[in-house]
Structure 1
Amino acid sequence: MAATLRGVEGLTVPADFSGVISVDRAGEPSFRRAYGAADRAAAIPNRADTRFAIASGAKGFVAVAVASLVEAGALRLDTTARSLLGADLPLIADDVTVGQLLAHRSGIGDYLDEDADGYEVTDYVLSEPVHRLDRTDAFLPMLDGRPTVFPAGARFSYCNGGYLVLALLLERAGGVPFHDAVAERVFAPAGMSDTAYLRSDELPANTATGYLHADGLRSNVLHLPVRGNGDGGAYSTVADISTFWRALFAGAMVSPGFVADLVRPHTEKAYRDFGYGLGFWLRPDGRVQLEGSDAGVSFRSAHDPDTSTTWTVVSNWSDGAWPVAREVIA
């Protein structure tokens, strides 16, 4: 049975929705409600402050961490990947830059082809044992041997592998492991106390397990890296996501001038009428968006910098967020 929500006019929530819906205005929640179970076997309900995996929604965190390192003088947007990769990943063209990787305009081959015929988000797609993927250099065998798809800078093509390469560059330019670098340069200055790259095989209390389907107990623990990395996999709360947006546009992590570059169109029409900046989707209505989709994960958050309003829908099953997000965020 679908239920009509008070506080979000005209919104109905499917009976199988499991997650949290949040609308914040200037940091104050005008609507925030949890549904479904964080742990189905133990019948532990989701709460408004439950931590959820956000998949590629974390690419915005990576972009801000890179921007912070650029402002610190350790990296430039025109730094070539090759200058830091050395002999690693030899099929990445010598002229591919940090900026092109951030904008998904690098042309490098990707380890994941989401446009392949028959691809399903619940497929087993990783070529490396997931338990080994707990640090950035462990992804090198998975990224290696991928031929260039098009010349660097020629066009937009969404590339998860490009953000794993960015994680390597972030480590090598800054001298700090990826997870620590993002925590120091993004989570700490933003005040995101409930956000981290958690291991899926040792999730702490009040953290949602990701499920493949609307019902049943099959989780995503064998589908994703045991610990997320550059292309996604952080865990967060809707409150921390709202905090991130406000901190971003307040200049808490990088200067307002650099923020403007992150959220301006580097591709005007990357997907339908959506543009893409550096780590952020740009909606035709002027809002900035982060989105993540993976086995057991669905997440969308949009922010209006003019009104400081944030809309977030997150679910702990593969397609759970989308019907609700289409109504809440459109």
Structure 2
Amino acid sequence: MKMHLINEKVTAIMKEIDFSGNVLVKRNNELLQHYSNGFSNRTHHTLNNEQTRFGIASGCKIFTAVAICQLVEKDQVTFESKLSDVLDMPFPHFDEGITIHHLLTHTAGIPDYFDEEVMKDFADLWVNQPMYLMRYGHNFLPLFQHEPMKLAVGERFHYNNAGYILLGLIVEQVSGKGFDEYVTEHVFKRAGMEQSGYFELDALPSNTALGYIDEEDGSWKSNIYSVPVKGGADGGAFVTVDDMHHFWQALMKFELLNPEMTQQLLTPYIHTDDDYDRFYGYGVWIDKRDDIISKYHVMGYDPGVSFHSAFYPESGVTSVVCSNKSEGAFDVFKELEKL
């Protein structure tokens, strides 16, 4: 276990849940909290360290949104561009009125390949569809391409992974580059995220944490058969806690998008939760307090992955919690937030 300036209450929570992962909290570039614990590889007893890479599941939807916003900046598409105009693929039952804005804000009403409103276990998807074949965005199309609309366009917020698969395919068609190639060049490199990438589970680079699923009887297994072999536009990138901090800094300093486009990315377009003053922008959750934005945040959960990260505009604080277990990041994140 490696700690730096960790609050006792946070440490107690970490011990209680047997936290495995990394934590980083900075105010601008001032280090406030740093912590590493657990094993990146349980079989070989390899410890997580400060530069371990972790999967972040849906936490990387914001990278997809930034990529789309960059294409809008270049006048290659608009937020009102119709799906049918920017993607040369058949969607026979989709509404012709679906726009890029609808896809970004989860309001397109399209069917999802993993509908979190009705499905519980992500791993169930791969019973009939081998996860080792899921390496590119177009591999997901058979899971939803010919299904009927779930909702009317713009009817309400419906968190939707398939919508972000489509956004990734739009990035590929418009830019002429593979999605991961585009994001690596135009997001990761520009933000100084030198250790991050869309890695394949059967060819992971060094110092990358395997995800672990703990069973009730105390046994465990890795998540290599529970998630797609390679992540993409809807989730599955790997980052370090430092790289995620670099991303927030680059975004807020307008190094990824110009000020106007950054504001569009961070606009609270749609209310998402009746119990909280929570909204969704483009690839990012947005919390308000007394009608003032208090937090921009991203999160991700997969079998063997839990992730939370936020930027607090009033204080300039960034927090990052990466874990290679299915649960734990939220508990640590909320305890850190109390500080």
Same fold (TM over 0.5): yes
* Separation of aligned partners in 2, 1:235 and 1:74: 28
Q: Provide the residue aligned with 1:315 in structure 2.
A: 323
Q: 2:212: which partner in 1? A: 211
Cα pair distance change 1:231/1:170, threshold 3 Å: same
Q: Which runs of 5+ in 1 are unaligned?
A: none
Structure 1's 6 and 250: CA in aligned 2 closer, same or farther, altered over 3 A?
closer
2:164–2:233 Cα contact (<8 Å) kept:
yes
Can you list the C-alpha shifts for 1:123-170, whole angstroms capped at 9, x where unaligned? 422452111111222222123222111121221110011000111111
Q: Does structure 2 retain, via aligned residues, the 8 Å contact 1:197–1:228?
A: yes
Which whole-Å deviations, capped at 9, do the CAs of 1:87-143 have from their partners, x for residues lacking one? Answer: 4232221110001100111110111122226x245x422452111111222222123
TM-aligned CA deviation for residue 9 of structure 1: 5.5
One-letter code aligned to 2:40: A
State the distance in 2 between where 1:207 and 1:185 align: 22
What's the % identity of the aligned pairs? Answer: 34
Give the Cα separation in 1 of the matches to 2:99 and 2:8.
45
Q: For 1:274-329, what per-residue CA distance to the aligned partner results, in whole angstroms no more than 9, with x for missing partners?
A: 21111100123411001001111000001113332111111101013222122123
When the two chains are superposed, the root-mean-square deviation of aligned CA atoms in Å is 2.1
**2:166 aligned residue:** 165
Aligned partner of residue 186 in structure 1, secondary structure: helix
After TM superposition, list the pairs within 5 Å mapping 1:295-306 onto structure 2: 295-306=303-314
Distance across 1 between alignment mates of 2:318 and 2:300: 16
The runs of at least 4 consecutive aligned structure 1 residues that moved more than 3 Å come to 3-7, 214-217, 269-272
Q: 1:317 to 1:44 in 2, by over 3 A?
A: same
- Structure 1 residue 237 corresponds to structure 2 residue 237: no
Counterpart in 2 of 1:281? 285
User: Secondary structure of the equivalent of 1:243?
Assistant: helix
- The residue identity in structure 2 corresponding to 1:95 is G
Residue of structure 1 equivalent to 2:191: 190
Contact 2:40 2:48 in 1 (8 A): yes
Q: Is the 8 A contact 1:40 1:217 kept in 2?
A: no
Gaps of 5+ in 2: none
Q: How far is the alpha carbon of 1:271 from its aligned partner? A: 6.3
Tell me which residue corresponds to 2:249: 246
Q: Does the CA contact (< 8 Å) of 1:89 and 1:143 recur in 2?
A: no
Residues 6, 33 of structure 2: 8 Å contact kept:
yes
Deviation (angstroms), 1:5: 8.4
In 2, Cα distance between equivalents of 1:176 and 1:253: 18
Q: Supply the AA of the counterpart residue of 1:73.
A: D
Give the total of aligned pairs. Answer: 327
Using the size of structure 2 for normalisation, the TM-score is 0.91
Query: Match of 2:288, SS?
Result: coil
Q: Is the 8 A contact 1:51 1:194 kept in 2?
A: yes
Task: Measure how far apart 1:224 and its partner are.
Answer: 1.1
In the TM superposition, residue 39 of structure 1 has moved relative to its aligned partner by 0.2
Letter in 2 for 1:89: F
